[in-house]
């Protein structure tokens, strides 16, 4: 007997054998068991999630010789013929190859006739969204009021393309992409039944590459078994899929952390010898950074990861901001890879961009700077005052280079401070007033007083203390009115630059000639100042 591929051999034949899609199965089982059957069902979902499998099981449940039930016997002639694709009253149509209205009319000409063998005549139309507009019009009347012996089962990967008139005549079930752990568990069951040796890491790679599709997972499993000569090993599966060893990702990030461009390019040269798919490599790198961000935010979340040790080590070496930056660079590099002169060159530029845009670490051991345990306090609308001094004293003790105190130009000072994100925005919306002892008094635009959280005020204190080499505290007073802050000054400058750019465009003689020639005018909203 010829070999039968796993996707066909292990196609589920009962609802109990289906993997996932419980929300759909529950509705169908209840409808069958309580005899509340609609005449038209629409199954929507991405490829390989069980649309046609559920439709065939439903057809079997409707025509089982032992009666309509959610548990067809699987042994009667009707069940066997449906399983083997020989049941005369199950008409399967591939709408992608029969889009013409004449094909639809020919199909519907036999709707009025009673079924030949079964209880119901079942029309299973796959990829129904591919039908033409005229074909849908021909189908509508029959779909709305079919004879009692006819059931329509429609399947589609793109329900958005179906006319609303068709959708309103069907019970619609949206099938979900299958989780990776569910796919991996089913593959383990299959390999156990097939008596095939495997490594769990190899199955994890296949489950991830399947991207939520069980059929894709089974096809990849078939390919991996053939590639490995009857066994599944992680290195061979990685080679088949074009993915790289996790150790290479760790080495790449180590070189980025150490700003070692030579080591970075050496790893790329080693990878290039394996002829990898650089788009997949960047996807793996982004996935690794995503796991790293999770471990930083919730350490216990990484307990089940195979690379948990590497993640914990890097989590101590990189700040959360750095991880987010590298993640974004990896995503943008993957997006732009097709535009680069060569895949390797695009990959190298993505890594070099990580080096170029990595924030400059301050002198001393950044990891040794502790966070304050007490910071801002005060009621809404009142003074926001920091009382914790442990962190700023630790910053001074860390041996940072000091700047002699002088009344600051606040905007210039904010640009010099090592502030990022929300902490920088808080500083930009403040105005400096005076210093009293070790306390700096600032005013904050009342519209932004929600930003003055304990954590952000503490970060400002640490940065100021590091800059001046002495323990400084911050007291912030929210005020209403026209407060001159760096943020407002910057906005004003941008508006001035924009007006200057608009005036320059309008005054340009070439632009004026074009406007006169074509009877048009400059749209100021489209004029942007050059950086």
Long-range contacts of 510-513 (CB under 8 A, 24+ apart): none
Which class would CATH give 246-357? Answer: mainly alpha
Indicate the range of 27-41, 105-119, 193-207 predicted with least confidence: 105-119
pLDDT of 381: 46
CB distance 414 to 427 below 8 Å: yes
Sheet holding 90-94, edge to edge: 90-94, 121-126, 150-156, 40-44, 171-174
The neighbouring-strand residues paired with 175 are none
Distance CA 486, CA 424 (A): 11
* Residue ranges covered by each domain of the chain: 6-174, 180-241, 246-357, 366-484, 487-526
Of the chain, the percentage scoring pLDDT greater than 70 comes to: 88
Residue 6 has pLDDT above 80, yes or no: yes
Give the three-state DSSP class for 63. helix
For the stretch 102-139, pLDDT in tens is 777 877 878 888 888 889 999 999 988 888 888 888 88
For the stretch 283-326, pLDDT in tens is 888 988 888 888 888 877 766 666 677 778 888 888 888 888 88
pLDDT of 31: 92
Average pLDDT score, the chain: 82
Cβ neighbours for 449, distance < 8 A, ≥ 6 positions apart:
380, 381, 384, 478
65, 158, 182: which is closest to 120 by C-alpha? Answer: 65
For the stretch 372-392, pLDDT in tens is 333 343 434 456 554 445 555
Distance CA 402, CA 389 (A): 18
CA quadruple 201, 204, 208, 210: dihedral sign = positive
pLDDT of 42: 94
pLDDT of 132: 84
Q: What is the DSSP letter of 232?
A: B
- Report, at the CATH architecture level, how domain 180-241 is classified: Orthogonal Bundle (1.10)
Distance CA 119, CA 79 (A): 12
pLDDT of 394: 52
The neighbouring-strand residues paired with 478 are 444
Give the three-state DSSP class for 441. strand
Distance CA 296, CA 478 (A): 33
- Report, at the CATH architecture level, how domain 6-174 is classified: 3-Layer(aba) Sandwich (3.40)
Cβ neighbours for 244, distance < 8 A, ≥ 6 positions apart:
238, 271, 274, 276, 281, 284
Distance CA 41, CA 159 (A): 13
Distance CA 56, CA 62 (A): 10
Distance CA 369, CA 336 (A): 38
pLDDT of 153: 93
User: How many Å separate Cα 207 from the centre of its chain?
Assistant: 16
Sheet holding 430-436, edge to edge: 376-377, 384-386, 473-479, 439-445, 430-436
Q: In degrees rounded to 5, what are phi and psi of residue 154? A: -110, 140
CA quadruple 222, 223, 229, 232: dihedral sign = negative
Which class would CATH give 366-484? Answer: alpha beta
pLDDT of 387: 44
Q: Are strands 439-445 and 473-479 parallel, antiparallel or unpaired?
A: parallel
User: Within a 10 A sphere around the Cβ of 436, how many other Cβ atoms?
Assistant: 10
Cβ neighbours for 290, distance < 8 A, ≥ 6 positions apart:
327
Distance CA 342, CA 21 (A): 42
pLDDT (mean) for 191-196 = 90
Token duo for residue 14: 């009962």
pTM for the model stands at 0.59
Q: What is the DSSP letter of 198?
A: B
pLDDT of 270: 85
pLDDT of 41: 94
Token duo for residue 153: 């089962």
Residue 144 has pLDDT above 80, yes or no: yes
Residue 27 has pLDDT above 90, yes or no: yes
Residue 467 has pLDDT above 70, yes or no: yes
Give the three-state DSSP class for 469. coil
Residue 365 pLDDT level (bands cut at 50, 70, 90):
very low
């Amino acid at each position: 007997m010829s070999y039968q591929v796993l996707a066909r051999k292990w196609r589920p034949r009962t609802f109990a054998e289906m993997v996932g899609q419980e929300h759909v199965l529950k509705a169908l089982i209840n409808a069958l068991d309580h005899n509340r059957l609609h005449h038209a069902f629409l199954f929507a979902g991405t490829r390989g999630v069980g649309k046609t499998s559920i439709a065939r099981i439903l057809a079997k449940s409707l025509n089982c010789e032992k009666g309509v039930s959610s548990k067809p016997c699987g042994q009667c002639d009707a069940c066997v013929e449906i399983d083997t694709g020989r049941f005369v009253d199950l008409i399967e149509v591939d709408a992608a190859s029969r889009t013409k209205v004449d094909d639809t009319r020919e199909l519907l000409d036999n709707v009025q006739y009673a079924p030949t063998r079964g209880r119901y005549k079942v029309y299973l139309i796959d990829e129904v969204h591919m039908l033409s507009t005229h074909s849908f019009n021909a189908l509508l009347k029959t779909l709305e009021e079919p004879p009692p012996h006819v059931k329509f089962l429609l399947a589609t990967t793109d329900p958005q393309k179906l006319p609303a008139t068709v959708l309103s005549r069907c019970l619609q079930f949206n099938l979900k992409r299958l989780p990776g752990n569910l796919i991996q568990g089913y593959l383990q069951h299959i390999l156990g039944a097939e008596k095939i040796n495997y490594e769990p890491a190899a199955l994890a790679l296949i489950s991830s590459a399947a991207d939520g599709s069980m059929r894709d997972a089974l096809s990849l499993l078939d390919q991996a078994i053939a590639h490995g000569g009857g066994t599944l090993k992680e290195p061979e599966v990685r080679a088949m899929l074009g993915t790289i060893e996790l150790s290479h990702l760790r080495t790449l990030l180590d070189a980025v952390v150490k700003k070692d461009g030579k080591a970075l390019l050496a790893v790329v040269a080693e990878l290039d010898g394996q002829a990898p798919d650089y788009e997949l490599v960047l996807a793996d790198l982004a996935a690794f950074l995503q796991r790293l961000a999770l471990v930083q935010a919730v350490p216990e979340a990484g307990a089940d990861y195979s690379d948990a040790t590497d993640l914990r080590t890097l989590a101590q070496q990189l700040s959360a901001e750095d991880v987010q930056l590298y993640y974004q660079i990896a995503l943008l590099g993957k997006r732009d890879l097709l535009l680069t002169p060569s895949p390797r060159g695009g990959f190298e530029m993505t890594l070099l961009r990580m080096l170029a845009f990595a924030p400059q670490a301050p002198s001393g051991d950044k990891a040794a700077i502790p966070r304050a345990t007490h910071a801002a306090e005060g009621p809404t609308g009142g003074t926001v005052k920091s009382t914790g001094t442990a962190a700023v004293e630790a910053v001074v003790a860390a041996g940072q280079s000091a700047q002699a105190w002088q009344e600051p130009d606040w905007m210039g000072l904010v640009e010099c401070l090592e502030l990022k994100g929300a902490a920088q925005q808080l500083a930009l919306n403040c105005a400096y007033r005076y210093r009293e002892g070790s306390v700096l008094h600032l005013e904050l635009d009342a519209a932004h007083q929600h930003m003055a959280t304990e954590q952000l005020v503490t970060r400002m204190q640490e940065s100021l203390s590091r800059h001046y080499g002495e323990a400084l505290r911050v007291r912030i007073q929210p005020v209403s009115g026209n407060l001159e802050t760096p943020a407002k000054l910057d906005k004003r400058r941008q508006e001035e630059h924009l007006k200057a750019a608009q005036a320059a465009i309008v005054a340009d003689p070439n632009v004026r000639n074009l406007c006169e020639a074509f009877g048009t005018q400059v749209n100021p909203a489209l004029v942007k100042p050059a950086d």
